[in-house]
Structures are given as C-alpha cells and as structure tokens.
Amino acid sequence: CIKWGNKFPAYYVNRLYAGVKRHMDRPFRFVCFTENAEGLRPEVEVFPLPVVAYEDAMVRAMTTGKRRGSWRKVTIFQPGKAELSGPCLQLDLDVVITGPLGPLIDHAPGKVCMGRDWLERRRHRPGGHGSAVRFDPHLHRYLFDGFGEYITGEMQWKGEQKYTSMTALAHGDLEYFPEGWICSFKRQSIPVFPLNFLRVPVLPDDCRVMCFHGTPKMEEALVGDCPKLRYRTRPAAWLRDLWLDANEKDWMPG
C-alpha cells in the first residue's frame, strides 16, 4: 500500500494489514510506502515514498486540472522498490478485506489483474478499478517506465487507474478479476434510494475486497451516516468483525 499526507490515519494501514493476515493462505510481506510511519504496527515493512525526477509535474497533476488522480500510486510499479518480486497485490487504504486473497494472487499468472470498473462497464468501455491491482514489478515494469513521459505530457486519461488499465491493455496484459471478487460498497452493498433508509447494506457472497471509494467511508458505513442522502445507510454490522480490531468494538452500536 502507499500512504501520504494526512487523509488516512495510521489505523487504516494497521487494519488493512490485519485483514490481509486473516485472509491470506500463504506467507506474505506487507509493505507500506509512506513519509510518516508513526503509529504503524511493527509487522508493517515501511519504506520511503518513491522519488521521481518529475515530482513537481506529478503533484500538479494530482491537485489541478481535469486529469486529477492519485498519480503517486503509479510509483509503486517501479522495479527494485522494497525488493518486491513476483506477484504483488497493491491495495488502497479505503478497502476492507472480506474473503480469501490467495485466489487474487493466483489468478491469470503473468497478467495485470484488476476489478472491472463499475462506471466503465456501464459505458461499455475497457477499464479496471485501482483499489486492488495484482502485478509483477519485473514483468510489468512498463507501467512505470512510461509514466514520466505520460505525466509530463498531454495526459490522455483521468486518474491513475485508467492509466494503469489502458497501459496494461496496450501490452496485452490486462485481465479482470472474476465478477464479484472486488465489490463497491456504494454500488453493490447499499440498497437503491430510498430503500437505503430501510434495509441494511449487504455483503456479496463471493466478495474478497470491499471498496469504499468516494463516500461513504468505513466509519460512516459502520454507523449508517453519510452526507449524501443517496449513500446514507443503516449500520453495516458485518464491518464490526471485518474492519475493527477486537478491542474497538465496544463503542459500536449493537
């Protein structure tokens, strides 16, 4: 994973690690690239944020213009960082691990694997969602090698997940995870408006990674709160066991 700035506190990393540990069926390393390791549990291997020669252009792209996105995530694809090798699973911090992760590691060997992006599917366009990306830093080094030229140029696509998807597709390497493995809380768990005020959010049967992209985030879903009426929900009780540590559950409503 990668963590920068103050958007996500350290406990997001710690809870993500705990979720991976519960659902991984083999030995693994959990690596976090960050400029601030304060509060991270000792099992997390901490490495500094990757440095790139085009840092200023990347920061501008992250904060201004029509192509804004979390472009710093692409720097993880740089070969040699943290001595990563073989199949690696990049996870966003605003996800909850809900099922076995081994199949994500084994699926479509040698390919760049992503969940199918929900909006791109609706628009009948190719594209994966960047919340969970399975890649090999040596096989897929082109994801990083062409990034400098891209980020300092015209920037054809909005957001790093579209860049990753289309670059892998151009190399014949894009493969989607099976339907239902990577789920969107706001698109697949929350009942349609106005039933979201009456029914509790569901956990799809085969979900492995639940994505809380946009709103609501996990804290809001736990208590059934969200500033957007469309995504306001009844409390998602199943999050108590999947995201909270055992000693954190007492403050939650039953």
The three-state secondary structure class of 76 is helix
- From CA 119, how far away is CA 87, in angstroms rounded? 27
**Mean pLDDT per 10-residue section of the chain, whose length is 254 residues:** 96 97 98 98 97 94 83 96 97 98 98 95 93 98 96 90 97 98 96 90 97 93 86 91 76 44
Statement to judge: residues 133 and 220 lie in one domain = no
Distance CA 67, CA 231 (A): 25
End-to-end C-alpha distance for the chain, whole angstroms: 31
Show the domain range for 221: 182-251
Same domain, 231 and 136: no
Query: How much is the pTM?
Result: 0.94
pLDDT score at 247: 66
How confident is the model at residue 9, as a pLDDT?
A: 95
pLDDT score of 248: 66
Q: Which amino acid is at 238?
A: W
195 and 133 fall within a common domain: no
pLDDT digits (tens, 9 = 90+) for 178-204: 999 999 999 999 999 889 888 999 999
Q: Which two tokens stand for residue 171?
A: 């190399």
The four Cα atoms 161, 166, 171, 172 give a dihedral, to 10 degrees, of 100
Same structural domain, 151 and 77:
yes
CB 111 within 8 A of CB 68: no
| Pairing outcome for strands 174-176 and 112-116 | parallel
Q: How many domains does the chain have?
A: 2
